[in-house]
Amino acid sequence: MRAHHPTPELPRHLEQLYERFPFDRSFADDPISTIRPLATDPRRGEVAAILGATLAIGNTTAIRGAIARVAGLAGGDVAWFVDPAHARERARRLAGFRHRWIRGDQVDHLFRVLTDHYARHASLEEAFVAGWSTGGFPGGLDRLAAVLRGVGRSAAIGRPPPGYRALFPSPIDRSASPCKRLTLFVRWMVRSRYPDLGYWTHVPTGELKVPLDQHVYWIAYHLGLTARKSRSWAAVEEVSEALRRIDPIDPVKYDFVLCHTGISGDCPKERDLAVCGPCSVRPDCRLWRGRPVAA
């Protein structure tokens, strides 16, 4: 199959897709809709966002429900989870929690790590910036992942439960993971434009990488933003660079739109003129470009 490259009209078509997108409809179906009411200040925003990103596995309804269940255990105030005085009670309340393969003891350990980190640092932003300043965005994620895994933790935290460290991959691990959940967390914290939180102030939006979930990857591949046949960190870099050429200041502004175009069914992932006909980027899509509409 011949390589599929973006058309010269793609920047204009993407902007049209963005401008016409029903944000309010998709906001209600996105994990950020459950996170934002919990994020009443920078510390609560960070705790709610890392909780939400860690649980961002599966469909959005299940993710939002999982976030709400955990928050409900603290009466809706996520700062409760990182108060050292609540460690024993927190573990008891979380003991029965399950979301997909994530267990309550793993979530409790995450809050142990955060409690320890906040005893010495104001924010997780410090960890990300330390890595980013020397290793770019991958370095920032690597340093953030290391902190969340508990590298350099105090002895009081104890050993992580089975499977915990796997929740926080790094883009420079051997697996070359796309790190969708941590990249999503950083997007939420850095971007101040709707629907994101914008509590971090030291990382320019132009440095962000796209959180490459299955929906974004599929659409990006069919628009020619990457030629990679699977999700990987290399694909993240290619898609992000292609979007940066379109909008150098805020390249990942298209992430929410592309993701929910897939989630909502606005992109059926097959030729369906009834659905695809009004789509702004249909002329750029691998499924339609250069083929008669009636085919």
Local confidence pLDDT in tens for the 295 residues of the chain: 456 788 899 999 999 999 999 999 999 999 999 999 999 999 999 999 999 999 999 999 999 999 999 999 999 999 999 999 999 999 999 999 999 999 999 999 999 999 999 999 999 999 999 999 999 999 999 999 999 999 877 667 889 999 999 999 999 998 889 999 999 999 999 999 999 999 999 999 999 999 999 999 999 999 999 999 999 999 999 999 999 999 999 999 999 999 999 999 999 999 999 999 999 999 999 999 877 776 5
Q: What is the dihedral of CA 90, 146, 229, 264, to 10 degrees?
A: 30
User: Residue 102's beta-bridge partner residues?
Assistant: 99
The region, left, alpha or beta by phi > 0 then psi within -120 to 50, assigned to residue 87 is: alpha
User: Tokens 């809050």 — which residue?
Assistant: 111
- What tokens were used for 107? 């979530």
**CA angle, 242 then 247 then 250, to 5°:** 110
One-letter amino acid at 258 equals: L
Which domains are present in the chain?
1-23+206-295 (1.10.1670), 31-203 (no CATH)
One-letter amino acid at 113 equals: V
